[in-house]
Amino acid sequence: MLAWPYLSGLFLLVALPAVAAAVLAFTEFSGVQAPRFTGTDNVRRLVADDAFWSSLGNTLIYILIAVPLRLAAALGFALLLHRRSKASTLARPIAYLPTVVPDVAYVLLWLWLLNPLYGPIAGAFGLTGLLTDPWGARVALPLMAAFQIGEAFVVSLAVRRSIPKSVYEAAAVDGARPLFTFTRLTLPLMAPALALLALRDVILSLQINFVPALLLTDGGPRYATTYLPLFVYRTAFRYFRLGYASTIALSMFVLTAAVVYVQYRMAKRWRVLD
C-alpha cells in the first residue's frame, strides 16, 4: 500500500515515457501532427547519419577520459583520506564539494576558468585553446568532470576503511613494500567496488555531459562536444524530429546496455564480481 505512490510515479514518469519513446523511435513525429509509423526508416537513417557517428565518437572519447580519471581521483582521495585525522576530516568534505555544486553554477565557474581571453588557466598556463580547439574541448570537458568524484569517493572511502587494519599489518610483517601492498592487497580487495563504480560511471557519463556541452561549448567547436544527449535534445527540440530523436535515445540505451554487459563480463572473468 505504502509503495503505491512510488510505483505510480515510476509508471507515469519513467516506464510510460520510456515505452512511448521506444514506440516513437519507429515513427515520424514533429510534435504537431500525429505520429506516423515509418518502420525501420529511422534506424536506417541513423546508421547513415554522419552527425550521429560523430556524436557517438565524441561521447566515447568523453567516457574514455572521464571514467578512468574520475575513478582514479576517487580512489586516490580515498587512499589519501581514509585515516582518522583532523586533516582528513577537513579534507573529505572539500573533496566532495564540487559534486554538490549545481551543474549550471559549476559550468559557469569553468567557463570563467577556461576563458581563452581572461581565464586564469589561460593566463597561468597559456592554455588558450581548451574551449576553442576541437581536441582541446574534447579533453577539457571530461577533465572538468573529473573533479566531481562524489559518490565514487564516498564508496571508495567506505570500502577502503572496511579492510581490516590487521591485514595491512600482516603484510608489513610479511615484508610487503607499499607498492606491493597496493597492487596485491588494496587494489584487489577494492576491485569489486571499483568495478561497480566503473559500471555506474559509464552510465552516468553517457548523460551528465549535457549541461556542460550546452552551456560551455554549445556542442562545439566544430561539433567536437556534441555528445549524444545534446544531439538528441537538438534533434527533438530544435528540429522537432521527435521520432528520430527517440531512435537516437534508443541507441543510447542499447549502447549503455552493451557497455554494461561487456564490463560485467570482464568483471566476472577477472573474478572481481561474485
Partner 1 sequence: MSLRLTGVSKTFHTNGPKLVLDEVTLEVEDGHMMVIVGPSGSGKTTLLRCVAGLESVDRGRVEVGGRDVTQADPGDRDVAMVFQDYALYPHLSVRENIAFGLRARKVPRADIDAQVAEASAAVGLEGSLDASPNHLSGGERQRVALARALVRRPAAFLLDEPLSNLDAELRTQTRREIRSLQRSLKTTTLYVTHDQVEAMTMGDTVAVLRAGKVEQVGTPEELYEEPANVFVARFLGSPPMNLFPPGLLGSAASTAAGVRPERISFVEQGSGRFDGTVDLVERVGGEVIVHVRCGDGVLLVRRDVRSAPSPGDAVGLHFADEDLHTFDAEDRRVG
Contact 169, 89 (CB under 8 A): no
Residue 80 or 191: the one with the smaller Cβ distance to partner 1 is 191
For the bound state, the minimum distance from the C-beta of residue 182 to partner 1, rounded and expressed in Å, comes to: 12
Alpha carbon distances (Å) from 135 to 62, 139, 147, 206: 11, 6, 20, 19
Q: Report d(CA 17, CA 63) in Å as an integer.
A: 26
Amino acid at 114: L
Residue 50 or 174: the one with the smaller Cβ distance to partner 1 is 174
For the bound state, the minimum distance from the C-beta of residue 187 to partner 1, rounded and expressed in Å, comes to: 10
For the bound state, the minimum distance from the C-beta of residue 189 to partner 1, rounded and expressed in Å, comes to: 6
Residue 165 or 238: the one with the smaller Cβ distance to partner 1 is 165
How many Å separate Cα 48 from the centre of its chain?
Answer: 26
For the bound state, the minimum distance from the C-beta of residue 134 to partner 1, rounded and expressed in Å, comes to: 43
The single-letter DSSP state of residue 34 is P
For the bound state, the minimum distance from the C-beta of residue 198 to partner 1, rounded and expressed in Å, comes to: 18
Residue 33 or 166: the one with the smaller Cβ distance to partner 1 is 166
Query: Taking the alpha carbons of 134, 137, 139, 141 in that order, is the dihedral positive or negative?
Result: negative
Question: Rounded to the nearest 5 degrees, what angle is found at the Cα of 256, between the Cα atoms of 58 and 200?
Answer: 100
Contact residues for partner 1, defined by CB under 8 A: 164, 166-167, 169-177, 180, 184-185, 188-189, 191
Residue 161 or 184: the one with the smaller Cβ distance to partner 1 is 184
Contact 95, 149 (CB under 8 A): yes
